[in-house]
Amino acid sequence: MKTIKDRVAKMSFLGLLLALVTTSFYAPSAMAHGEKSQAAFMRMRTIIWYDLDWSTDSVAVNEQVNIDGKFHVFAGWPETVALPDIAFLNIGIPGPVFIRSESYIGGRIVPRSVSLKLGSDYEFSVVLTARRPGDWHVHTMMNVKGGGPVIGPGKWVNVTGSMSQFKNPITTLTGKTVDIETFNEGTIWAWHGLWFAVGLAWMAYFCKSPVFLPRWIMAHSGRRAELITDTDKKVTMAFMAGTVVLVMFSYGSANSAYPITIPLQGGVLRDIPALPDQRGNVHVKVNGATYRVPGRAMSMDLTIHNGSDTAVQLCEFQAGAIRFLDSAVCEDETLYPENVLAPDGLSSSDNSAIAPDETKTITVTAQDASWEIERMSDIIYDPDSRFGAIIWFNGEDGSRQSAILNEPLIPVFM
């Protein structure tokens, strides 16, 4: 009986060890991200990204991709989401397939968190360097402390070449040039291997005897004191002492090899300059808005007053990442991601030009399957069923003006 138990215990240990090793080296490919699972009200009423431009959709390893654009921080920020007093400009990618070489907001470099003001617009730029070959979905993203990530539109970028060609040289504050990709790689492997060996030794010692069922039986039969012997306690103390010695040695060794260091930089940049008022002089009042579920269409009764000195026409409606265009007035010239672009998705009861100082009431419809595909229609099931969007007008003089919409939305199921 004891032999059978020992065999079962050894087989269990080997199976556990094999599973641990297998999962350590297996890394499945991540294709796109879960932006569709993010609540629709967060994508509509927190941060809306616009005028985005990806410099290219195909690069080689070591080449760069620039993502430039603007974002608006909604004044009607949801009460259930933490305010963006501490936020970090990020890029959503499936792992370290790019490195972020530079990032800017308002023309200022932002290597740390920033404070954003509600109702303001900001200009941003991020420079990425390709590291791993493949097709990667690259998103704009803002991490908000307490509120989580706010994900913007994503575009597929193809990276060619070989990862072995990737270099990431930097010059330290002491004037030494090192390649971050391979710097001290041997030391990193050695320390990982050492601690992995310590962990295996710990597991091997305590798994030398029957592990699962026999110990469970002993514990439930009142023999818990027999599970840990005096030898076990001595071995445990030896492991603890050895761990402390290793940590102290490694600290002293690193401090001796690199005496000049600076701490990781924290803190919040609170003086990031916002853009001048982007709204212009076209004012829009929402008299009522509905979402027709069977037709995948949002309809709005809008009263529009043109306070500018040029005639304007309704061109675009953007909710979250989805852009609805009136193709008779404008078209996309930025190679915007096709899955969130409806080039013929915007229509109105009267889209003739609105003259200066003229007021007009029209019905505007934004209709496309992307409402459902991108799960933006889930906004009608939110306890605070409101939509947030930007509506754009083109002027006869070539100007472009916008207005912010933040109003209740009523669902229609027939």
Domain end marker among 171, 193, 213:
171
Q: Please indicate, yes or no, whether residues 249 and 360 belong to a single structural domain of this protein.
A: no
Q: Report if residue 408 sits inside a domain.
A: yes
Q: Are residues 217 and 325 in the same domain?
A: no
pLDDT tens for residues 276-323? 988 889 999 999 999 999 989 999 999 999 999 999 999 999 999 999
List pLDDT tens digits, range 16-59. 555 555 554 444 444 455 678 788 999 999 999 999 999 999 99
- Residue-wise pLDDT for 250-279, tens only, equals 999 999 988 888 888 788 999 999 999 888
Please, what is the end-to-end C-alpha distance for the chain in angstroms?
A: 71
**Residue 121, domain CATH:** 2.60.120.570
User: Has residue 218 been placed in a domain?
Assistant: yes
CATH of the domain at 313: 2.60.40.1580
On whether both 64 and 89 belong to a single domain, the answer is yes
Contact 64, 118 (CB under 8 A): no
In a domain? residue 224? yes
Whether 365 is covered by a domain: the verdict is yes
pLDDT digits (tens, 9 = 90+) for 311-370: 999 999 999 999 999 999 999 988 899 999 999 999 999 999 999 999 999 999 999 999
**Residue-range definition of the domain harbouring residue 84:** 47-171
12 falls in which pLDDT band (50, 70, 90)? low
**Residues 371, 401 within the same domain:** yes
Residue 34 lies in a domain: no
Q: Looking at 171, 190, 214, which one is the last position of a domain?
A: 171
Same domain, 121 and 210: no
Tokens coding 251: 């600290």
Is residue 132 located within the same domain as residue 231? no
340 lies in the same domain as 401:
yes
- Per DSSP, the three-state class of 176 is coil
What predicted TM-score, i.e. pTM, was given to this entire model? 0.81
Q: Which residues pair with 155 in a beta bridge?
A: 138
Q: Which residue has the tokens 């889209």?
A: 351
Q: What is the mean pLDDT of the chain?
A: 89
Q: What is the CATH number of the domain that holds 247?
A: 1.10.287.710
Q: What is the pLDDT at residue 28?
A: 44
Q: Which long-range contacts link 80-84 to residues 24+ away (Cβ below 8 Å)?
A: 80/384, 81/42, 81/46, 81/144, 81/147, 81/148, 82/144, 82/145, 82/146, 82/147, 83/118, 83/144, 83/147, 84/46, 84/47, 84/115, 84/116, 84/118, 84/142, 84/144, 84/147
Q: Are residues 290 and 335 in the same domain?
A: yes
Closest by CA to 322, choosing from 340, 335, 334, is: 340
| Same domain, yes or no: 80 and 185 | no
Using the 3D structure, point to which of 190, 222, 257 is the last residue of a domain: 257
Same domain? 209 vs 161: no
Q: Is residue 94 part of a domain?
A: yes
Residue 234 belongs to a domain:
yes
Domain membership flag for residue 62: yes
Same domain, yes or no: 299 and 408: yes
CA distance 104 to 163: 27
Give per-residue pLDDT as tens, 52-94.
Answer: 999 999 999 999 999 999 999 999 999 989 999 999 999 999 9
Q: How many domains does the chain have?
A: 3
